[in-house]
Structure 1
């Protein structure tokens, strides 16, 4: 689940000139496995309500009660599997961190890992989407389009002994690179570390290049596909770092491809636009 204000991967936001982020918000929800669905409706500003502890986007919301992030979902998935995605996800951090990582030298993009280690309880409208396990909660902030400052990046989060390991590697437009690895303890402690070496992975079905970190002599491998798009890949990857075998979520993003004009109409099929939101009136009968 991702809550967007200024939906960075929405063609409608790009076509609008990105002048009003609030007019392009969405609650992105993806489920995987047999019958998996993808919902990412670009909504107008009438759908957006914000409070200090709540984000509402159309019929879905995120709220923080001081201990748990509660995500109430009521979305319609897009092609090719149109259907209702409804239910609740609860994410309870073991601890919160104070880490903020500027991704560019001028701080135009910032990564904020609020809870790298957490428990998640999923209860959606299908038996296979009711489970508990490892959870993760972060945020990204930006004042410029991603493709203006980056050409490519990869990111990974791996549950590990005593907490989790997060890996961030990117290629910036100015020719510099960002390589950052953090070990987060379950108690909220954080240590920036050198985590293996960058190693090439097998390309995706769209021939998107991928890489992640691993001990010398080891190659990260995909063990479960999740999302495969022309410019973006999400999958479960297994690697070895500091002698520990790890499995976690890995992402690769090609922003040269995303910046291509030919891609935006393709995205519009998966990301419908709903300009006006009229909330459901309560039943007073």
Structure 2
């Protein structure tokens, strides 16, 4: 495996984010009964923002002027999507907390607490509530996704539990949870063509796969068996396994699974021209598991017609 960087600073919300760069913190929870899911991403320098992309074309752009909190609830009858980008003065943070508009992440003792109150799009509505995520251990390693170390990934707490309590809509659940962060000094489209990522709870903790194709054609695959105590073990790279394309936009997607495994899509949560998020049933490390999975195509993201569609899903507040 290339790109391990264990000498980087430990987790903080106030790390430096350079011009044209980004930092995001990602949480997902899948309910124990398999019916509901929640994903939250807090961005400084929203990497999927058409506004940030347009600003970068004019010269170096400040990522702190493009913060956003993405909150998405999945489940029959409960789908909610919110991603409102805000101005620099809507962002505040210190080592242990991060606030973007009316939503925030913070540490309370050993738990990560996320509180959010966001307006949904494209169907107007509201999603309000909280998540309390309790890690069983912290992963010490940080990994480079490119040869130059300009894009880093830290699977901070991939084997966690979380309690989700919502007011709008009125629903609560608990389940296996995951928490990581990505940060970089350049836009994703400057260095990446494609990636597939997945995380699956296992009897030991979690199996996390990160499969990256860079713009220069090189490929990096991280296949990690992460214990509940945060210990990391590299495993042999599972073979590629096909998945059906997205149902609406037909975005290609694939994964990796144990030899002989036959992954299948259980639910497609997000189906866009450049990105899919799905729950899949697969086999990893000799176990039958269900996994959160995503595929991302940066060439698709940079197409002009896609950029013109994005404001309908991610508005920007100028006040």
**Range into which the TM-score falls when normalised by the shorter chain:** over 0.9
> Would you say 1:175 and 2:246 are equivalent positions?
no
1:5 is matched with 44
Structure 1 residue 148: deviation in Å?
A: 1.1
Alignment of 1:116-131 (within 5 A): 116-126=158-168, 129-131=171-173
Q: Deviations over 1:23-65 (max 9, x none)?
A: 0001100011213111101101010001110100001100012
Mapped to 1, the partners of 2:290 and 2:160 lie a distance apart of: 16
Gaps of at least 5 residues in structure 2 are 1-39
The equivalent residue for 2:145 is: 103
User: 3-state SS of the aligned residue for 2:310?
Assistant: helix
Displacement of 1:215? 1.9
CA-based RMSD of the aligned residues comes to: 1.2
5 Å-filtered alignment, 1:1-285, equals: 1-17=40-56, 19-33=61-75, 34-79=77-122, 81-126=123-168, 129-205=171-247, 206-276=249-319
| TM-score, normalised via structure 1 length | 0.94
Gapped runs of 5+ residues in structure 1?
A: 277-285
**What TM-score comes out, normalization by structure 2 length?**
0.84
Q: Structure 1 242/72 Cα, relative in aligned 2: closer, same or farther at 3 Å? A: closer
The answer on whether the counterparts of 1:196 and 1:242 sit within 8 Å (CA) in structure 2 is no
Q: Verify the 8 A CA contact 2:43 2:67 in the aligned structure 1.
A: yes
- SS class of match (1:40): strand
Count of matched residue positions in the alignment of Structure 1 and Structure 2: 275
Question: What is the distance in 2 between the residues matched to 1:70 and 1:214?
Answer: 33
CA shift for structure 1 position 275: 2.2
